[in-house]
Amino acid sequence: MATHRTFTMLKPDAVEKGHIGAILEKISASGFKIVAMKLTQMTQADAETFYAIHKERPFFPELVTYMTRGPIVAAILEKENAVADFRTLIGATNPADAADGTIRKLYAASISENAVHGSDSDENAAIEGAFHFSGREQF
Ligand code: IDP
Ligand code: MG
């Protein structure tokens, strides 16, 4: 089933602004089934590990500070073509470039504080899901 799953986080800015309900509603209305979900908060070490691929980028320290400053909602989602369809639903990294109706167009403030994460491949969806959830939680 791994090829039909993706992983998302509603990031600290989305949680702070009270957008959890609206974003989950949009995700559900778009045909994604929530397989696992929790409100949690990443430590600095968590964020550095989760975003290790970006560690040489100039925005890495800012990204770690942002992603650890408050609670997030982590979730595993299931749908046919989940990874690609969820990337379409969230829109471009920079909300200024995101299509109308996408989650980032609606709720993101900037390229750094962009409301939501979506895995970029089936392989990373499995890795990221396992980072936040035990096997027992990924029923
Ligand atoms: P993605 O989330 O659309 O996959 P990535 O390039 O993987 O985008 O970047 C991971 C996260 O790092 C972004 O979602 C955003 O929060 C942050 N980020 C990406 N590019 C920039 C930038 O140029 N300036 C500041 N933050 C950035
Ligand atoms: Mg990415």
**99-137 confidence digits (pLDDT tens):** 999 999 999 999 999 999 999 999 999 999 999 999 999
**0.85 surpassed by pTM:** yes
**d(CA 34, ligand 1 centre) in Å:** 24
Extended strands (E) in the chain: 5-10, 33-40, 72-78, 116-118
Residue owning the nearest CA to atom 6 of ligand 1: 93
Positions marked active-site? 117
Which atom of ligand 1 is nearest the CA belonging to 112?
26
**48-57 confidence digits (pLDDT tens):** 999 999 999 9
* Ligand 1 shell residues, CB under 6 Å: 54, 59, 62-63, 93, 111-112, 114, 117, 120
Using pLDDT thresholds of 50, 70 and 90, give the confidence band for residue 26. very high
Secondary structure of the chain as H, E, C letters:
CHHHEEEEEECHHHHHCCCHHHHHHHHHHCCCEEEEEEEECCCHHHHHHHCHHHCCCCCHHHHHHHHHCCCEEEEEEECCCHHHHHHHHHCCCCHHHCCCCCHHHHHCCCCCCCCEEECCCHHHHHHHHHHHCCHHHCC
Residues near ligand 2 ion, CB 5 Å cutoff? 120
Query: What per-residue confidence (pLDDT) applies to 139?
Result: 79
Q: What is the mean pLDDT of the chain?
A: 96
**68-108 confidence digits (pLDDT tens):** 999 999 999 999 999 999 999 999 999 999 999 999 999 99
